[in-house]
Amino acid sequence: MEQLAHLYRDHISELNRRVADITSRENLSGLVIHSGQPHRQFLDDMDYPFKVNPHFKAWLPVTDNPNSWLVVNGQDKPKLIFYRPADFWHKVADEPTDFWAEFIDIVYLTKADKVAELLPNRIDDWAYIGEHLDVADVLGFTNKNSDSVLSYLNYHRANKTDYELVCMRQANQIAVTGHQAAKTAFYNGASEFEILQVYLSAISQGENQVPYGSIVALNQNAAILHYTALEQVNPAHRHSFLIDAGANYNGYASDITRTYAFEKNIFDDLITAMDNMQLQIIAMMKPGVNYADLHIATHHKLAQILIDFDVVSGDVNGLVEQGITSAFFPHGLGHMLGLQVHDMGGFLADDKGTHIASPVAHPFLRCTRTLAENQVLTIEPGVYIIDSLLAPLKQDKRQQQVNWRTVDTLRPFGGIRIEDNVIIHRENTENMTRKFGLNR
């Protein structure tokens, strides 16, 4: 913990340095960062689960306290306006005493609508960063989530501090424990619903604490890319299992996927091939490499796998260029990871907000950035039998390049995705997911 406090101090220095830089560039006194407010459910007296502003939790591992604020100017100790109402209905946040508290000036707010008393006087010189523009208006902010400030912060947050890297390793280690428990539950015959319960209890995190809705899919459900339905009844035959599930540590996310075959068969061999290919792509990561090029390289490698498994025929380039590989692998290779699962900044060429679009043929790619030291990314190639994407191939000459019998053989298994979380270092890459023992 002492080590974490040490790294945290440097983390705050780096965030302060960034604030000093952007506020001088934009002629601002500083930033006021709002944790958020509860969202009330329609016609109800209950709120949706609270999701904190990522720019707030960048400063502190406080993810569950709405109506709190950070006032940062790049020079002074950050000031935290910490919400502690008199409330006997809900749990009131404890006064912070964790490792981070000594690096922050903490003042307490007992009534959410009295925050103006604790904010800087000439608020017009400060920029509001948060979700509630109506609140910002009432408080008198004129600079609200401006593109220039957000682009700057989002660009630089891709460069993780050592404190953040420790948190992300922890998020991986925790999720790996859950993945191992989930794998055992699958082979022991658990349903999708039961597997998720096993996963969550292994990591000791609730459904609203994990960084995204976990995907736990048996058989053909593995072909539904964002499947979160969770069948409670087991299928008649057990073929395959895809789990895409992460964990949270101090507000930082892991995002991991594994796929398993219930028996040794062609699908199991295909998982081995995809796993090897995923590791080859990770081996290509280093500073200076463009992420979009890795995505394209993955399509070429996938084309060869599809040829080897007699799913398609033809030459590798033609299969990619005609969009045949895209019908089997429709999503992006991965994305930046951090405070958010799909961390902001994946398309930024610079800190002024210059956007690099995805290649036209690959609209779902979420990262076009050039890799640099201390970035964290997922690498998550997939291959699926998705009939709605394969149907157009049947409408033209591409149908002759697909072996529909092999497609029929693979359909009951749904699909494969293998997803690891990787840190780019100057001399090497660090695969956090495998490091904690989650292999094929």
Which one of residues 221, 298, 378, 421 is an interface residue with Mn ion (CB under 5 A)? 378
Q: Give Cβ neighbours of residue 349 (< 8 Å, ≥ 6 apart).
A: 355, 356, 369
32/182 with CB nearer ligand GLY: 182
Contact status, residue 39 vs residue 47, Cβ threshold 8 Å: yes
Which one of residues 212, 353, 356, 430 is an interface residue with ligand GLY (CB under 6 A)? 212
157/366 with CB nearer ligand GLY: 366
In 56-184, beta strands by DSSP E:
69-72, 79-83, 105-109, 126-129, 143-144
Q: Binding partner of residue 239 among Mn ion, ligand GLY, none, CB under 5 to 8 Å per kind?
A: none
Q: Give Cβ neighbours of residue 204 (< 8 Å, ≥ 6 apart).
A: none
CB of 419 vs ligand GLY, minimal distance in Å: 6
Question: For residue 12, what is the DSSP state?
Answer: H
Contact status, residue 199 vs residue 243, Cβ threshold 8 Å: yes
Q: Binding partner of residue 170 among Mn ion, ligand GLY, none, CB under 5 to 8 Å per kind?
A: none
81/245 with CB nearer ligand GLY: 245
419 annotated as a binding-site residue: yes
Which one of residues 164, 194, 255, 351 is an interface residue with Mn ion (CB under 5 A)? 255
Contact status, residue 171 vs residue 246, Cβ threshold 8 Å: yes
192/419 with CB nearer Mn ion: 419
CB of 359 vs ligand GLY, minimal distance in Å: 19
341/356 with CB nearer ligand GLY: 341
Question: For residue 357, what is the DSSP state?
Answer: P
Total residues interacting with ligand GLY, rule: CB under 6 A? 7
Q: For residue 254, give Cα distances in angstroms to 15, 195, 203.
A: 22, 19, 12
Q: Which amino acid is at 46?
A: M
With CA atoms as reference, report the closest residue to 199 among 189, 214, 209. Answer: 214
Written in H, E and C, the secondary structure of 222-289 is HHCCCCCCCCCCCCCCCCEEEEEECCEECCEECCEEEEEECCCCHHHHHHHHHHHHHHHHHHCCCCCC
CB of 197 vs ligand GLY, minimal distance in Å: 19
CB of 257 vs ligand GLY, minimal distance in Å: 6
Contact status, residue 289 vs residue 370, Cβ threshold 8 Å: yes
Q: Which of residues 368-397 bind ligand GLY (CB under 6 A)?
A: 380
Which one of residues 255, 275, 343, 420 is an interface residue with ligand GLY (CB under 6 A)? 255
Question: For residue 342, what is the DSSP state?
Answer: S
DSSP sequence for 365-393: ----PBP-TT-EEEE--EEE--HHHHHHH
Q: Binding partner of residue 108 among Mn ion, ligand GLY, none, CB under 5 to 8 Å per kind?
A: none
Q: Is 30 helix (H, G, I), strand (E, B) or coil?
A: strand
Distance of CA 132 to the CA centre of its chain: 23
305/418 with CB nearer ligand GLY: 418
124 annotated as a binding-site residue: no
244 annotated as a binding-site residue: yes
Q: Which of residues 226-245 bind Mn ion (CB under 5 A)?
A: 244
CB of 381 vs Mn ion, minimal distance in Å: 11
Q: Binding partner of residue 212 among ligand GLY, Mn ion, none, CB under 5 to 8 Å per kind?
A: ligand GLY
Which one of residues 192, 194, 244, 351 is an interface residue with ligand GLY (CB under 6 A)? 244
Q: For residue 52, give Cα distances in angstroms to 49, 58, 192, 262, 401.
A: 10, 10, 29, 39, 48
CB of 341 vs ligand GLY, minimal distance in Å: 6
11/335 with CB nearer ligand GLY: 335
351/419 with CB nearer ligand GLY: 419
Contact status, residue 51 vs residue 152, Cβ threshold 8 Å: no
255 annotated as a binding-site residue: yes
CB of 420 vs ligand GLY, minimal distance in Å: 11
**Distance of alpha carbon 273 from alpha carbon 275, whole angstroms:** 5
Distance of CA 84 to the CA centre of its chain: 30
427 annotated as a binding-site residue: no
Q: Which of residues 313-352 bind ligand GLY (CB under 6 A)?
A: 335, 341
219/378 with CB nearer Mn ion: 378
Q: Binding partner of residue 343 among Mn ion, ligand GLY, none, CB under 5 to 8 Å per kind?
A: none
Phi and psi angles of residue 163, each rounded to the nearest 5 degrees, phi first: -60, -45
Q: Which residue is nearest to ligand GLY (CB)?
A: 244
Annotated binding site: 244, 255, 335, 380, 419
Footprint of Mn ion on this chain (CB under 5 A)? Answer: 244, 255, 257, 378, 419
Footprint of ligand GLY on this chain (CB under 6 A)? Answer: 212, 244, 255, 335, 341, 380, 419
Annotated binding site for Mn(2+): 244, 255, 335, 380, 419
